[in-house]
């Protein structure tokens, strides 16, 4: 895809069906082909066979039925889970360990959480491996960092996501052997940050039939000198640290040594409550808005 502000929008369908767009960003946003490719309804219509009846006519009922049936299946899975959750039926006794496939999920974020919620543990043996034992609703991290939202309102434990999970392992995968279908897991060090003379955490090796990698991403501070020494906002622990730090900044600005009305004291008070946010994405913008709210500043 190329952009040229001096050229008009042109489109071309090559012999290999590769779509080429030339034009400005505004023209790209108005392009009909890109609009169609951004919608599942249009994509399904475009890639149907030409001899299909009703090709471009009417609403795609097949897509509506498919999505509705997906929802029904999810509901049935949750209904079948009720007797097992209440202890009326033993999941381990329904099928032998050898017959159920072992599905290992790496991570506990959005993708992993979505899979855990709908997985039918009567058919698969689900094992979750993640350093964090809970799912975080990340859009609320900014509000939690200033006290607007409590941490328990934006998290859900892994075992609560699906009580029929066979096992949860608090650790991180360090090696995967796709040929032997084994995975090496380094367990979390419970004394990390508490005792400097702790031994290396133990590692375990386990087998799997299917592996789902949903480890997410890490905070990137490349290209911004000094950003590696700042507080981050990626997890509940980060939100808790940031909440404490922001509160201490306001307490620091209300000390008696800067309580006067002189120009220097006013300037110093302002400096002590000046915050720099690296990143203008959704989290950065929401955090800036939360810090600026009158309710937070007043209390």
**Could you tell me the pTM of the whole model?**
0.69
User: CA 146 to CA 290: how far, in whole Å?
Assistant: 7
* Tens of each residue's pLDDT in the chain, 299 residues: 444 444 443 444 444 445 455 555 566 556 666 655 556 556 555 555 555 555 445 556 776 777 788 788 878 877 777 777 676 666 555 544 458 899 999 999 999 999 998 888 888 899 999 999 999 998 899 888 888 888 888 999 998 888 888 899 999 999 999 999 999 999 988 766 666 666 778 899 999 999 999 998 877 777 788 888 888 888 889 999 998 998 898 899 989 998 888 999 999 999 998 888 888 888 888 888 888 776 666 65
Cα–Cα distance between 125 and 43 in angstroms, integer? 35
Q: Which residue has the tokens 């090696």?
A: 175
Residue 3, pLDDT score = 42
CA–CA separation, 80 vs 75, rounded Å? 9
Q: How far is CA 231 from the centre of its chain?
A: 19
Evaluate the CA torsion angle 31, 34, 35, 36 in order and state its sign: positive
CB 106 within 8 A of CB 130: yes
**How much is the pLDDT for 176?**
93
Nearest-angstrom CA–CA distance, 148 and 104? 36
């Amino acid at each position: 895809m190329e952009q040229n502000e001096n050229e008009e929008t042109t489109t071309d369908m090559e012999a290999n069906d590769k779509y080429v767009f030339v034009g400005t960003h505004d023209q790209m946003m108005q392009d009909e082909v890109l609009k169609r490719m951004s919608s599942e309804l249009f994509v399904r219509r475009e890639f149907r066979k030409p001899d299909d009846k009703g090709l471009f006519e009417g609403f795609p009922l097949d897509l509506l039925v498919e999505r509705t049936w997906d929802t029904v299946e999810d509901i049935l899975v949750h209904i079948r889970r009720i007797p097992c959750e209440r202890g009326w039926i033993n999941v381990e006794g329904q099928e032998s360990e050898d017959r159920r496939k072992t599905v290992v999920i790496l991570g506990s974020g959005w993708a992993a959480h979505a899979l855990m919620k709908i997985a039918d543990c009567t058919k698969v043996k689900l094992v979750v491996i993640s350093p964090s034992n809970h799912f975080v609703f990340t859009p609320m991290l900014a509000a939690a960092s200033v006290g607007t939202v409590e941490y328990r309102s934006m998290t859900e434990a892994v075992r609560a996501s699906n009580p029929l999970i066979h096992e949860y392992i608090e650790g991180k995968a360090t090696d995967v052997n796709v040929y032997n279908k084994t995975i090496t897991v380094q367990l979390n060090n419970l004394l990390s940050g508490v005792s400097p003379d702790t031994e290396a955490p133990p590692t375990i090796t386990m087998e799997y039939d299917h592996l789902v990698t949903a480890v997410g991403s890490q905070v990137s501070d490349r290209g911004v000198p000094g950003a590696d020494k700042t507080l981050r906002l990626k997890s509940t622990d980060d939100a808790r640290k940031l909440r404490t730090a922001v509160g201490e900044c306001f307490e620091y600005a209300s000390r008696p040594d800067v309580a006067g009305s002189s120009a220097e004291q006013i300037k110093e008070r302002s400096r002590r409550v000046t915050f720099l946010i690296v990143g203008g994405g959704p989290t950065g913008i929401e955090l800036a808005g939360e810090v600026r709210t009158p309710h937070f500043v007043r209390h």
